[in-house]
């Protein structure tokens, strides 16, 4: 290793002792409503999470990410915050949160929580004040504007959830902007007082022991001050399910001043040694992700959507996404997920409906090894270690406001938010003693934690093994990546850190394929799933070889 400044070097050339904890970390996402219910009301809560942290720690992950648990009317299930600095009673109390932090840290788990800076609930005191007192302290904390002369909204911007991104308010006789639900008014991120208030919120949680933040929809924080109309998207053969999809979102997201506020966030995080990951979506996401994570004074990483909505898992999709983040000094560090609370379960998305249990088992194992071999931070979504499938929620049971508004064109997010099955034979899968807020999947009981916990052939056992394997190999945590073969089903790439070089070989298709001629047939795999190794590549299999 060289004696140059660590940050002036590519990550793969830095001293392992200088690497921060979060670099190459595996982070487990917990959706509080659906993880574990401790008080029998059918909704998960903070004490339920605390009671099951031993399971999370047993996986070998580095941290947990908690989706919102703040005080909220729950119009968008916590992403409409009415008090940033308190716990909604449905989830517990601040004391419950403190107990969760204490146990997590005792188990060696860092805690990351969501921060929703682009919008609040319309019941937040800031918005109530802004609506009722236009000349008051909070009068310009939100994006308000007069109508056009004929009474129409100030711009043509459309909401993600459908319909105009403007709602008329008779009290102020103005429109307010909302890029999501009308109950989620847009904060005026340009306002220095708003920025300071958000930084104060972050400091509140850092003082309680939080180790970092996932910043929700960060590129929606500021809008064009001139409220210019978005231009139309060019013609496309792809079906468009929302008015939002008909526009190029040039003026209601991705404002050029957002990085200035990111610098303030970064400075605060540095005081606490805290970690930041941004959620960045949209057609300009890659440029914004790199901009927001460039250098040492911005965010640590950004959460990629490349796989969350991909229709198929192919070598070309993997190579295209990973190659966008080269191992060069100054280039940001990526984060990857195959599943989360907003995207359909990957097994159901990437396998045909007629796939049998054996095919799902093999695919789940291959998918897990592949994810853990990628260069970047890895996010696992609760139940992914069990191989949970997407649940088909009938319309009458839907909770997701986006799916209800766009029925039947938008796939419900509820199908990936169903309760975590803890017990194969327990009431409601061991999640609750009361009817859960969403139904459990019919096949999820057989995949429950207690059904897999002691089974050496289960995906849960395999996940623990593979996570331990990743931790013991610097090339997988921090190494550069180079793709060597990208074919219809065959994927071969190498990971290199210092003197360690690993070859990651996968068959992403259902049929056996030929072993690559460039690799020795008798090489003994360091790790293998699906029977891959020593000249054999069955369908949905993979292995890691010493290079």
Q: How far apart are CA 119 and CA 194, in angstroms?
A: 11
Name the residue among 116, 109, 119, 123 with its Cα closest to residue 69: 116
CA distances from 22 to 237, 296, 352, 379, 533 (A): 41, 14, 35, 12, 31
Distance of CA 315 to the CA centre of its chain: 22
Q: How far apart are CA 486 and CA 477, in angstroms?
A: 22
Query: 356: which 2 tokens?
Result: 């049998």
H or E stretch covering 29: strand 26-30
CA distances from 269 to 295, 344, 498 (A): 15, 32, 30
CB 73 within 8 A of CB 80: yes
Distance of CA 411 to the CA centre of its chain: 18
Active site residue: 80, 88, 183, 216, which one?
Answer: 216
Residue 339 catalytic? no
CB 184 within 8 A of CB 122: yes
3-state secondary structure of 68: coil
Name the residue among 210, 1, 232, 183 with its Cα closest to residue 100: 210
Residue 122 catalytic? no
Q: How far apart are CA 45 and CA 92, in angstroms?
A: 6
CA distances from 376 to 114, 214, 300, 476 (A): 20, 16, 11, 9
Name the residue among 331, 251, 258 with its Cα closest to residue 290: 331
CB 116 within 8 A of CB 79: yes
Name the residue among 24, 23, 21, 10 with its Cα closest to residue 372: 24
Active site residue: 76, 122, 279, 306, which one?
Answer: 279
Distance of CA 341 to the CA centre of its chain: 8
3-state secondary structure of 546: strand
Helix axes 357-373, 459-471, angle to 10 degrees: 10
H or E stretch covering 259: helix 258-272
> Which residues does 99 contact at the CB level (< 8 Å), separation at least 6?
46, 47, 50
Active site residues: 216, 279
């Amino acid at each position: 290793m060289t004696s140059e400044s660590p940050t002036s070097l590519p990550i793969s050339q830095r001293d392992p002792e200088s690497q921060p904890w979060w670099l190459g970390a595996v982070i487990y996402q917990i959706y509080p409503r659906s993880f574990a219910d401790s008080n029998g009301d059918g909704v998960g809560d903070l004490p339920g999470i605390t009671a099951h942290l031993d399971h999370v720690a047993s996986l070998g992950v580095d941290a947990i990410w908690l989706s919102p648990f703040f005080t909220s009317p729950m119009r968008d299930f916590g992403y409409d915050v009415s008090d940033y600095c308190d716990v909604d009673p449905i989830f517990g109390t601040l004391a419950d949160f403190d107990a969760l932090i204490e146990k997590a840290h005792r188990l060696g788990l860092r805690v990351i929580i969501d921060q929703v800076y682009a919008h609040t609930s319309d019941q937040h005191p800031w918005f109530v004040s802004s609506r009722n007192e236009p000349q008051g302290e909070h009068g310009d904390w939100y994006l308000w504007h007069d109508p056009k002369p004929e009474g129409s909204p100030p711009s043509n911007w459309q909401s993600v959830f459908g319909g105009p991104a403007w709602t008329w308010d008779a009290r102020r006789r103005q429109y307010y902007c909302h890029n999501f639900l009308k109950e989620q008014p847009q904060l005026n991120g340009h306002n220095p007082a708003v920025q300071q208030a958000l930084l104060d919120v972050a400091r509140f949680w850092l003082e309680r022991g939080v180790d970092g933040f996932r910043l929700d929809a960060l590129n929606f924080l500021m809008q064009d001050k001139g409220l210019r109309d978005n231009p139309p998207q060019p013609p496309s053969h792809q079906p468009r399910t929302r008015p939002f999809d008909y526009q190029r979102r040039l003026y209601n997201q991705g404002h050029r001043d957002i990085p200035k506020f990111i610098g303030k966030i970064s400075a605060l995080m540095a005081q606490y040694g805290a970690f930041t990951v941004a959620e960045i979506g949209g057609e300009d996401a890659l440029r914004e992700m790199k901009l927001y994570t460039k250098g040492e004074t911005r965010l640590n990483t950004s959460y990629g959507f490349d796989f969350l909505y991909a229709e198929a898992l192919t070598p070309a999709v993997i190579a295209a996404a990973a190659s966008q983040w080269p191992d060069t000094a100054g280039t940001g560090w990526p984060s990857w997920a195959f599943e989360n609370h907003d995207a359909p379960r990957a097994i159901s998305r990437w396998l045909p409906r007629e796939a049998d249990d054996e095919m799902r088992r093999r695919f789940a194992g291959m998918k897990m090894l592949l994810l853990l071999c990628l260069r970047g931070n890895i996010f696992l979504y609760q139940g992914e270690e069990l191989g949970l499938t997407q649940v088909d929620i009938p319309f009458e049971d839907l909770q997701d406001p986006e799916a209800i508004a766009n029925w039947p064109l938008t796939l419900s997010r509820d199908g990936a938010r169903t309760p975590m099955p803890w017990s194969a034979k327990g009431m409601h899968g061991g999640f609750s003693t009361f009817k859960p807020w969403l139904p459990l999947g019919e096949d999820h009981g057989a995949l429950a934690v207690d059904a897999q916990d002691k089974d050496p052939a289960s995906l849960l056992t395999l996940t623990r093994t593979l996570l331990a394997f990743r931790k013991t190999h610097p090339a997988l945590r921090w190494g550069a990546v180079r793709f060597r073969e990208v074919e219809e089903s065959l994927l071969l790439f190498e990971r290199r850190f210092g003197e360690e070089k690993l070859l990651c070989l996968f068959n992403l298709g259902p049929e056996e394929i030929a072993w690559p001629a460039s690799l020795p047939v008798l090489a003994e795999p360091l790790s293998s799933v699906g029977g891959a190794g020593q000249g054999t590549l069955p369908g949905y299999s993979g292995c890691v070889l010493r290079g």
